[in-house]
Amino acid sequence: MATMKLGSKSEALQLDGCTWVCKSELVSDVVIEVGEMSFHLHKFPLLNRSGLLKKMISEFQSPDGKCCVLQLHDIPGGAQSFELVAKFCYDVKIELNALNVVSLRCAAEFLGMTEDCVGGNLILHTENFLYEVFDSWKDSIKALETCDEGILSQAEELHIVTRCINSLAVKACADPSLFGWPVVGRISMKSPEDSSSIPWNGICTLEKSVSSAGGGGGDWWYEDVSFLSLPLYKRLILAMDSKGMKPEYIAGSLMFYSRRFLPGLTRASSFREGPNRINPAAVSAPTESDQKVLLEEIVGLLPTKMGVTPTKFLLRLLRTAMILHASPSCRENLEKKVGSQLDEAALEDLLIPNLGYSMETLYDIDCFQRILDHFMLSDQSASAISTTSPGITTDERQLASSCLSLTPMTMVAKLVDGYLAEVAPDVNLKFPKFQSLAGVIPEYARPLDDGIYRAIDIYLKSHPWLTDSEREQLCRLMNCEKLSLEACTHAAQNERLPLRVVVQVLFFEQLRLRTSIAGWFFVSSDNNSRPHHHPHPHSHPHGEAHKNDLFPPTDDITIDDEKDNDHHQLLAVDEMRLRVSELERECSSMKQEIRKLGKQKTGWGFFSKRFGLGSKSHLL
């Protein structure tokens, strides 16, 4: 830490309780009261250095001729600053450093210690030392931390805060190797994939020293600025942003700062993660009202660039905003940010507990619905921008649109299906809400409909009172033709599904088997029509026969393998033919019986008997 020494004399002031007394043969003729402290000094050293004290002493009138008593309760820095001022006036040795120069500079301005009083006065010395402080990152941080409420207004008037913030912003945005000052960062960002050594928000807790000689990442300044008060931190982040700081680093700093002062960010985000866990480093947390203000400010500072701020962190902020009852605009802003990059979210982070006043459902499904709507709007906007560029043909527009939207939409469709499966057991989840949430995803976004089928089946199991019409409407959300073989097998025996859906499943399974058989026939006929060339055993490149007769020629092995393959193919074809014949007989019999039955329940009873699904009482 940089220092500047002033004065040449030894200590001349002595502290006695709350009183400073000048050790001199002359009797004190002026008393300066600063707060609870009083300073018994002499007029001449003070008159020579301070314009304000000179004026106050000259205007002081004592009717009884007592000692001059002056009060300086408003001096910046209080008694500590005036102690240094008094020593400077007596030419006593003092040391300026980054921790006292700001308050001393403000005190000198308050007392009018200019060059008009005497050359080499305190304002000149402190101002010169401030330039030396601004050359150092560490000293600038320490000086800015001292700009608290007691001297903030005076420091603002002297532009000390602005100059300090600009100095820090320039250093943080520049390459540390270009400067002669050391940079030490104790906290480093890690990649989100390295989950073995990082907490939830990507901040590594392992200390890492980064020097100007050794280089390092752009996150070396995170911990240093996290000790600043919120107003100063906000101004510093805005200054860094204006000077070209990368949005990734701004987002990382905001994450680090939030984690220090918002203990709710490190707690469980859903009921499945167990009880809340409080971060030990955030024991002395601010009050809830202060946390609410801080969170709203942090959200306002988040970079607008999509994908810069991790989706996991945004969802933690959103959950904390609901706990602290942040403003609607704050929560809406977070929901939009999460929606714009919903394809990067994890299912467990989307399971936000319902903290509303109604508490109708276990999880906040309305919040997820709004997030999903924002994603659909952003996806449509991205597709529209990419396909309206001039000079692109219609086919190219369609290809670009599908490439842009298919992968994120497919990932979101998987998230939605998983989310529906998690919330489906909630008996308070109304049918229209489940239906509307599942219907947002377009059909092309699901390569397979196993996920939505699983969610529908869980919902039907947890809501047995649904009407036949509602069951039919739910099953229209899935495409039976896009179910896997395992899902078809399950659905064909699922007594909770409407009969029409089961018949569709059996039909598409039959169609799939027919297609497979046609494919086998094509492959088999193609292999049989392909000529086989068997080279002569003596047709060696060098005209030599096989020297080792213990091993048969490779051509014979190939012929045997082909025979085995043909044999297996014929067996597989026979099995498929048998399966198709059975399905055809079953479907034909079912169609005849369904025509005879007048009610669907009777059809269900027949269906259960045919496939061994249990008695009729178990189906209702």
Q: Is the pLDDT of residue 271 over 50?
A: no
State the pLDDT at residue 53. 93
336 to 77, 294, 340, 375: CA distances (angstroms)? 45, 20, 6, 8
Residues 223 and 185: beta-carbon distance below 8 Å: yes
Q: Is the pLDDT of residue 371 over 70?
A: yes
Q: Is the pLDDT of residue 117 over 60?
A: yes
Using pLDDT thresholds of 50, 70 and 90, give the confidence band for residue 614. Answer: very low
Among 87-91, 174-178, 579-583, which range has the highest average pLDDT? 87-91
3-state secondary structure of 528: helix
Using pLDDT thresholds of 50, 70 and 90, give the confidence band for residue 570. Answer: low
Q: Is the pLDDT of residue 198 over 50?
A: no
Residue type, 402: S
Gap between the Cα atoms of 32 and 73, Å rounded: 9
Structure tokens at 601: 């329940």
State the pLDDT at residue 579. 63
Q: Transcribe 67-117 into DSSP letters.
A: -EEEE-TT-TTHHHHHHHHHHHHTTB-EEEETTTHHHHHHHHHHHT--TTT
Query: Pick the residue with more confidence: 513 or 95?
Result: 95
Query: Pick the residue with more confidence: 558 or 481?
Result: 481
Using pLDDT thresholds of 50, 70 and 90, give the confidence band for residue 619. Answer: very low
Q: Is the pLDDT of residue 343 over 60?
A: yes
Using pLDDT thresholds of 50, 70 and 90, give the confidence band for residue 279. Answer: very low
Least confident of 53-62, 148-157, 240-249, 581-590: 581-590
The pLDDT tens digits for 428-456 are 999 999 999 999 998 888 888 899 999 99
Residues 495 and 618: beta-carbon distance below 8 Å: yes
Using pLDDT thresholds of 50, 70 and 90, give the confidence band for residue 121. Answer: very high
Using pLDDT thresholds of 50, 70 and 90, give the confidence band for residue 360. Answer: confident
The pLDDT tens digits for 4-50 are 999 888 877 788 778 888 877 688 889 999 999 999 998 888 988 99
State the pLDDT at residue 500. 82
State the pLDDT at residue 515. 67
* Element counts in the chain: helices (H) and strands (E): 24, 9
Question: Which residues have C-beta within 8 Å of that of residue 586, sequence separation ≥ 6?
Answer: 506, 610
- Mean per-residue pLDDT, 109-125: 93
Query: Pick the residue with more confidence: 528 or 100?
Result: 100
Q: Is the pLDDT of residue 135 over 90?
A: yes
Give me the chain's average pLDDT, please.
Answer: 77
Q: Is the pLDDT of residue 98 over 90?
A: yes
Using pLDDT thresholds of 50, 70 and 90, give the confidence band for residue 617. Answer: very low
- Mean per-residue pLDDT, 245-268: 89
State the pLDDT at residue 236. 96
Q: Is the pLDDT of residue 215 over 70?
A: no
Q: Bridge-partner residues for 376, per DSSP?
A: none
Using pLDDT thresholds of 50, 70 and 90, give the confidence band for residue 511. Answer: confident
- Mean per-residue pLDDT, 268-283: 44
Q: Is the pLDDT of residue 183 over 90?
A: no
Q: Is the pLDDT of residue 169 over 70?
A: yes
User: Widest CA span of the chain, in angstroms?
Assistant: 138
Residue type, 346: A
The pLDDT tens digits for 374-393 are 999 987 765 554 445 555 55
Using pLDDT thresholds of 50, 70 and 90, give the confidence band for residue 211. Answer: very low
Question: How would you class 25 by CB atoms within 10 Å of its CB: exposed for 0-12, middle for 13-18, buried for 19 or more?
Answer: exposed
Query: What percentage of residues in the chain have a pLDDT greater than 90?
Result: 45
Query: What percentage of residues in the chain have a pLDDT greater than 70?
Result: 67
Gap between the Cα atoms of 32 and 49, Å rounded: 15
- Mean per-residue pLDDT, 603-613: 40
Number of residues that make up the chain: 620
Among 176-190, 209-223, 256-270, 339-353, which range has the highest average pLDDT? 339-353
State the pLDDT at residue 552. 42
